[in-house]
């Protein structure tokens, strides 16, 4: 039988899909009970994948079996409720099912003529996000892989607009001889922002740094005099403390000067979709661009990043795509490639639409505030157990000081990670090594938190006894 005929037979029989479904159900049933981080044996077994490229075609059933046998145990159980190491969200059941369906569609979202359904759902999500966050009516959205890409797009749009305002066409004239632009950012700016600044050629050494307060919030009184050459980077959700910059005051002065404001809200912008936490995002509508992830706080599947920009012309021009075979296909409908760096791109907005459709405004409120409640519980129970909590828990982040020395902190963190009970990561806060807890999954329960706190206590006792 030829390879072509074999693939046709596999497509028609559905046996491979049933096999994959069985493995998926087995994984889902066990993920909450297994070690949060893979065991040493599971990691060692990854050597099963190391081989020379096969010469002949393989057996599809055996390939799936190998992937499940050795791949599933080596995954991190971030959907199980006790993964707090990074701001990695869980996954809503409706979005997982939606992803399965849309994977069968296998849509390319570059142009409306490639996928009318993807175009329409991107348009709908764009409107819903404006409504949820209270953004200007002229705000458009680009659906990218994550906040890192979204920041890149927002800063590219800022560069285009500010230089265009000075009579400089960056697309044609480039960097050489261009009027200088100023980059102003807080000391606690996320590494993704710094990465975008470097990639766009602004130069990290050219950043005008602004000091922050004890929670990492940028200090408005530290700002230099602003002008129309400034790009200002603000933060909705400090990656350590979860704090939010004072948007209202800074945006007012920046707008008076003609500056561009970008807000990095990878996980924190979703606070704008809650009644009880919305005060944290007061004034965000005065910015020019925003970056946020669906796969963090909203718990859509990976990957799902969103760039929001109220200057459509600047965004489309900065991400311009040309070619006779392309421009002849543009339509009066939404052509997704105009708003992203990629041309070919998966239909990630389908899952975002499903999440927002399923949750509604009230569900988003419950989801986001529930994470805040679990973070408060984590902080309170750790504090009662004698651990230091170094931040005001305003959102979903908790900074834990488990010991007096950095060495002891490292050892306690390693013991927690090795326990398999939960997984937390380390950071440095105010010059001191700390443990960072990020509550990001809808499935995290009060019992998950209690169980994880006990892992902290046992790890400290183990280190003390040694």
**Structural domain contains residue 452:** yes
Q: Which secondary-structure segment (H or E) carries 24?
A: helix 15-30
Q: Please identify, among 337, 356, 375, the residue that sits at the C-terminal boundary of a domain.
A: 356
pLDDT for position 330: 73
Say yes or no: 324 and 282 in one domain. yes
Can you tell me the distance from the alpha carbon of 424 to that of 156, in angstroms, rounded to the nearest whole number? 34
pLDDT for position 32: 87
Mean of pLDDT values over 44-69: 96
Matching residue, tokens 């400090």: 238
Distances from the Cα of 247 to the Cαs of 211, 227, 236, 282, in angstroms? 15, 18, 9, 7
Say yes or no: 346 and 366 in one domain. no
**Structural domain contains residue 24:** yes
Q: Please identify, among 47, 77, 107, the residue that sits at the C-terminal boundary of a domain.
A: 77
Can you tell me the distance from the alpha carbon of 400 to that of 384, in angstroms, rounded to the nearest whole number? 12
Give the strand pairing for 397-401 and 425-429: unpaired
Number of domains in the chain: 3
| CATH number of the CATH domain containing 397 | 3.90.1150.10
Dihedral through CA 306, CA 442, CA 391, CA 237, nearest 10? Answer: 10
**Structural domain contains residue 90:** no
**Structural domain contains residue 93:** no
pLDDT tens column, 168-221: 999 999 999 999 999 999 999 999 999 999 999 999 999 999 999 999 999 999
pLDDT for position 331: 78
The verdict on whether omega for the bond into residue 303 sits within 30 degrees of 0, i.e. cis, is yes
Say yes or no: 382 and 347 in one domain. no
pLDDT at 421 over 80: yes
**Structural domain contains residue 435:** yes
User: Could you tell me which residues are beta bridge partners of residue 435?
Assistant: 400, 426
For the chain, the residue count is 466
Say yes or no: 115 and 177 in one domain. yes
pLDDT for position 328: 59
Coil, helix or strand for 309?
strand
pLDDT tens column, 223-246: 999 999 999 999 999 999 999 999
pLDDT at 327 over 80: no
How many CB atoms within 10 Å of residue 91?
Answer: 20
pLDDT tens column, 90-130: 999 999 999 999 999 999 999 999 999 999 999 999 999 99
Can you tell me the distance from the alpha carbon of 367 to that of 355, in angstroms, rounded to the nearest whole number? 11
**Structural domain contains residue 411:** yes
Say yes or no: 402 and 260 in one domain. no
> What mean pLDDT value characterizes the chain?
95
Can you tell me the distance from the alpha carbon of 242 to that of 391, in angstroms, rounded to the nearest whole number? 8
pLDDT for position 304: 97
Q: Please identify, among 335, 356, 377, the residue that sits at the C-terminal boundary of a domain.
A: 356
Mean of pLDDT values over 324-340: 79
pLDDT tens column, 62-81: 999 999 999 999 999 998 89
Coil, helix or strand for 403?
coil
Say yes or no: 415 and 444 in one domain. yes
pLDDT at 420 over 90: yes
Say yes or no: 349 and 364 in one domain. no
pLDDT tens column, 258-298: 999 999 999 999 999 999 999 999 999 999 999 999 999 99
Sign of the dihedral defined by the CA atoms of residues 328, 332, 337, 340, in that order: positive
pLDDT for position 321: 66
Coil, helix or strand for 33?
coil
Closest by CA to 216, choosing from 194, 189, 188, 195, is 188
Q: Angle at which helices 15-30 and 3-13 pack, to 10 degrees? A: 60
Mean of pLDDT values over 423-437: 97
Coil, helix or strand for 143?
strand
Say yes or no: 216 and 351 in one domain. yes
Over pLDDT 90: what percentage of the chain?
92
Say yes or no: 385 and 402 in one domain. yes
| CATH number of the CATH domain containing 204 | 3.40.640.10
Write down the pTM of the prediction: 0.95
Say yes or no: 35 and 167 in one domain. no
Residue 217 · residue 245 · CB < 8 Å: yes
Say yes or no: 374 and 347 in one domain. no
Mean of pLDDT values over 430-447: 97
pLDDT for position 325: 55
Domain that residue 19 falls in: 3-77
**Structural domain contains residue 88:** no
**Structural domain contains residue 87:** no
How many CB atoms within 10 Å of residue 183?
Answer: 23
Say yes or no: 168 and 41 in one domain. no
pLDDT for position 170: 96
Closest by CA to 96, choosing from 31, 155, 143, 149, is 31
């Amino acid at each position: 039988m030829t390879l072509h005929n074999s693939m046709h037979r596999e497509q028609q029989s559905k046996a491979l899909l049933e096999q994959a479904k069985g493995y998926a159900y087995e994984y889902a049933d066990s993920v909450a009970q297994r070690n949060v981080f893979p065991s040493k044996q599971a990691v060692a077994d990854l050597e099963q994948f190391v081989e020379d490229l096969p010469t002949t075609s393989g057996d599809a059933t055996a390939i799936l079996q190998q992937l499940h046998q050795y791949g599933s145990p080596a995954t991190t159980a971030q959907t199980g409720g006790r993964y707090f190491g990074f701001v990695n969200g869980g996954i809503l059941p409706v979005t997982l099912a939606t992803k399965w369906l849309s994977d069968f569609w296998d849509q390319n979202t570059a142009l409306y003529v490639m996928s009318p359904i993807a175009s329409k759902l991107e348009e709908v999500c764009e409107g819903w996000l404006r409504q949820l966050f209270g953004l200007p009516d002229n705000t458009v959205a680009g659906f990218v892989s994550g906040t890192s890409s979204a920041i890149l797009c927002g800063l590219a749009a800022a560069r285009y607009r500010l230089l265009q305002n000075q009579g400089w066409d960056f697309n044609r004239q480039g960097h050489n001889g261009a009027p200088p632009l100023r980059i102003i950012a807080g000391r606690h700016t996320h590494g993704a922002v710094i990465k975008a600044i470097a990639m766009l050629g602004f130069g990290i050494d050219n950043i005008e740094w602004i000091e922050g307060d004890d929670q990492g919030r940028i200090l408005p009184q530290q700002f230099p005099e602003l002008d129309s050459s400034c790009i200002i980077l603000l933060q909705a959700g400090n990656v350590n403390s979860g704090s939010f910059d004072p948007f209202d005051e800074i945006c007012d002065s920046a707008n008076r000067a003609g500056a561009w404001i970008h807000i990095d809200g990878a996980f924190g912008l979703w606070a704008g979709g809650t009644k009880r936490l919305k005060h944290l995002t007061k004034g965000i509508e005065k910015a020019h661009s925003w970056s946020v992830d669906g796969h963090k706080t909203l718990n859509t599947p990976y990957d799902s990043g969103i760039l929001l920009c109220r200057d459509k012309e600047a965004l489309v021009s900065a991400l311009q795509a040309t070619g006779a075979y392309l421009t002849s296909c543009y339509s009066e409908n939404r052509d997704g490639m105009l708003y992203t760096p990629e041309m070919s791109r998966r239909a990630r907005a389908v899952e975002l639409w499903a999440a927002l459709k399923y949750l509604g405004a009230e569900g988003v409120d419950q989801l986001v505030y529930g994470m805040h409640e679990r973070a408060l519980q984590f902080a309170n129970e750790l504090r009662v157990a004698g651990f230091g909590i170094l931040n005001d828990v305003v959102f979903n982040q908790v900074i834990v000081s488990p010991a007096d020395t950095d060495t002891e902190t490292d050892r306690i963190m390693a013991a927690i990670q090795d326990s398999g009970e939960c997984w937390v990561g380390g950071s440095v806060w105010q010059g001191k090594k700390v443990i960072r807890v990020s509550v990001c999954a809808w499935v995290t329960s009060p019992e998950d938190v209690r169980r994880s706190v006990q892992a902290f206590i046992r790890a400290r006792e183990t280190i003390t006894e040694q």
